[in-house]
Amino acid sequence: MENHVQMLTETALRISGVNPQKCMKCGKCSGTCPSYDAMEYHPHQFVAMVEKGQIEKLMESDSIYMCLSCMACVERCPRGVEPGKLVEAVRLMKIRQQDQNRKNGNDIAAFADENVPQQLLMAAMRKYRK
């Protein structure tokens, strides 16, 4: 079981290219997150959980789908930890594990109209493949 957890952690770190040990747990990333209230685990908690090898817990959380992929947390981090990249890596791992998506291109198109900001569409397309 420990090898499985270690493998998941190494995969998340390899996909994201992030070093969670650089985090000084200041919480600035979480303070700037526009999805803070909707997330079970906030960006600084996400980094700490990856560092502790709690990937499976994160993969089961809806927090990976609440992230807007705006990367405000990346811009705000004084140590360059890039929590948003970790969230995207864990989300990608979950999608690959399920071999499916929570949403598909048709679901996204169903709520899109001329008033939907392009940033929302781009974030949605990063999260969900066609």
Q: pLDDT truncated to tens, each residue of the chain (130 aa)?
A: 688 889 999 999 999 999 999 999 999 999 999 999 999 999 999 999 999 999 999 999 999 999 988 999 999 999 999 999 999 999 989 888 876 555 666 676 676 777 777 777 777 666 655 4
Same domain, 29 and 84: yes
The sign of the dihedral angle between the CA atoms of 45, 42, 18, 6 is positive
- For residue 108, give the amino acid letter: I
Is residue 42 within 8 Å of 30, Cβ to Cβ? Answer: yes
> Could you give the number of structural domains in the chain?
2
The sign of the dihedral angle between the CA atoms of 35, 41, 44, 47 is negative
Same domain, 126 and 66: no
Look at residue 95 in the predicted model and tell me its pLDDT. Answer: 83
Same domain, 107 and 78: no
Same domain, 6 and 65: yes
Q: What is the CATH number of the domain that holds 36?
A: 1.10.1060.10
Look at residue 34 in the predicted model and tell me its pLDDT. Answer: 93
Look at residue 130 in the predicted model and tell me its pLDDT. Answer: 40
- Residue 35 to residue 29: CA distance in whole angstroms: 11
Same domain, 95 and 116: no
Look at residue 110 in the predicted model and tell me its pLDDT. Answer: 72
pTM here?
0.74
Same domain, 73 and 129: no
Domain carrying residue 108: 103-130
